[in-house]
Structure 1
């Protein structure tokens, strides 16, 4: 094979760099004669840290500049946390590979308490995610939820500096940064369903760059792809341009894909929760599962809940 050169675009946070270097390592292992370069790109979401995400545009804030660099040919591919990616990609780009999913759960992190149940009445918990906020309040309406932005290190520092009783972070991010020892409890799915795609990495490329698409095909994990296809299809139906308090998770039970979702009011007091399953689904079936469950839950009260949201409220990150 002739010598190959690929430029990976990434944000410069520790977690984003870990992800980019992990993918570069996988590619170098597969193509030992390749040259892989990692280029740091600062996104709007990295610059504005004192405002809830949805007030300045939501998830695309962490991908827009990277996608522009890809469309201009400055970089060949981008590595994202899949949960940070909008459900609709810009024209000319494609989600070329989805990696095998790490633990998709949410981690309860505290310096004083071992679990959510141990928190005292009125405890202060940090998260900037509407999804986590609403699900925590559904379980513990007494909690005081404090907005929490920044990278993983920043959030862990704020746990102490802002005298928070606990914070909630993605399990996968902590484990990738060798910070798994900070996890006191992985919140049960019955309490907190994860974000769409949480735990999986997404490799984005130009749709017409067949060479790069073919090279990175070795990174694709088919079961994860089908699971997140169902999740992203569900979210596409319910988000309507807003960041929404929605949890959704598809998991495999042998050859059956089970899709579970929850739509909540911001205070967590109104909840629509449901699930469905598909036997040996392909991509089309996974897409249809997401649409079917969304239609069912919107009709069962989810549409009313979501219609009351202010799109300027905080977002998922």
Structure 2
């Protein structure tokens, strides 16, 4: 099942002036905005064409009070549009690709993917959420998605500020468009709801819609759900257009507006998803993680049989006899020694409104870090959970993929965080590195090597070494024998190793390395 190819990257525009292209899609505000994105791309590529827009309601729009996973069938938001296209009532149909079944996507029509926004989900809470947690009240989250219900509730029980001995969460069905769901949230019927960031971003970019959406979001507390623990639906955030293969005019337009990389990513996600189940009852996600060190297809959750799975593709193929992994002895490398920011370390004050914590140990010392009224970002979920235990509200994490992986999501309209808004809080050496890259960074600790002889001895005989941080290599790398293979997760560690002339074997995250390790080799570690 190869990815569809449009011959010729540079399209010859042979369509005559005055021709009309009829676009059809749903009549919801978000769908109309997506149609407008397609219209603009057509007008840019084919300025001589006229574009007509046809809006239709769908079966999914009509079933406003019923969770769709309880209704027999599929393509609830797209079937009516499919039918209109088949009857030649329009030339090109516009859809959210997430709403389209794999059966249709891999069918006979021609497709192009023209745009993709942020793929994450966001949990949106009423402002009194922390008080409700403190009182031990049950938190009601509005969602009709089995995937979100399965993944997000498990995550949020650990990710919300741990202000009570136990956080109880239940889900309750919620239907309607973004505006409707936010209004239901504000009414107090729910404590939170979970939405795709892509739809909110597109509404916030619209001059007509942004005022209302901003008003509905005012005073709300946000948690951008991590991609690894709360995997998005396949093709979430992508806009797809389709045409009947006999409509040569429409096919020519699809060629001109198709984004080949996005189409390939979405094709792979849909293809992977059908291995685990189909329809809106599924409890898994599939997404593409495009990092500076490589692109990965990531799938996780429960398949149609209820079996949990996690899959990274690709992972390195290695033949290693003697592996040393720093993850086995993380506590034995360093001590974190507090240092002062400014003249006094009694009350550390940070002026920036947003703080990225590279490690939870940055606030684990005896000195009080002033994070009141700050937007807090975490390097990964371990740091997130440790911060939550201390009662902090964390807005987002970098998914352990490196701080710069998170930057596009920070800049999106929903968060609107610019480079001047945040500061990176880490240890002294790392803070200096970040400042050299042009970022604001401070430290309230320094690393003191424990000079662990057992670690040095294990490194000296290892054929391969997995470093979970560059500082480990800095302090202990000299013990490695010549020709040893260096392994690491992506992000800053990989970049810094490359600067030392090392070509490391890169895994997307530490968790991905551990998965590979369990399935691939017998590891060597020190007790």
Aligned equivalents of 1:54, 1:275: Cα separation in 2? 27
Match of 2:25 in 1: 10
Q: 1:108 to 1:229 in 2, by over 3 A?
A: same
CA contact (8 A) 2:38 2:114 kept: no
Pairing partner for 1:275 from 298, 312, 321 = 312
Pairing partner for 2:236 from 198, 202, 209 = 198
Match of 1:127 in 2: 143
How far 1:252 moved relative to its partner? 2.4
**Which blocks of at least 5 consecutive residues in structure 1 are unaligned?**
280-299, 301-317
CA contact (8 A) 1:45 1:62 kept: yes
Superimposed CA distance per residue, residues 162-191 of structure 1 (whole angstroms, 9 cap, x where no aligned partner): 431111100010010015853722111133
**Which blocks of at least 5 consecutive residues in structure 2 are unaligned?**
1-15, 158-166, 205-209, 317-518, 520-527
CA contact (8 A) 1:28 1:34 kept: yes
Match of 1:150 in 2: 176
How far 1:95 moved relative to its partner? 4.5
Superimposed CA distance per residue, residues 224-267 of structure 1 (whole angstroms, 9 cap, x where no aligned partner): 2222111101222222556211111112235743111112389x
Aligned equivalents of 1:216, 1:21: Cα separation in 2? 15
Number of aligned positions between the proteins: 278
Match of 1:161 in 2: 187
CA contact (8 A) 2:284 2:303 kept: no
Match of 1:172 in 2: 198
Greater Rg over alpha carbons, structure:
2
Classify the secondary structure of the residue corresponding to 1:83.
helix
Match of 1:83 in 2: 98
Match of 2:152 in 1: 136
| Range with bigger deviation, 192-201 or 205-214 | 205-214
| Range with bigger deviation, 191-200 or 153-162 | 153-162
Classify the secondary structure of the residue corresponding to 1:201.
strand
Q: 1:247 to 1:113 in 2, by over 3 A?
A: farther
Aligned equivalents of 1:157, 1:248: Cα separation in 2? 30
Aligned equivalents of 2:196, 2:55: Cα separation in 1? 23
Superimposed CA distance per residue, residues 277-298 of structure 1 (whole angstroms, 9 cap, x where no aligned partner): 179xxxxxxxxxxxxxxxxxxx
TM-score scaled by length of structure 2: 0.49
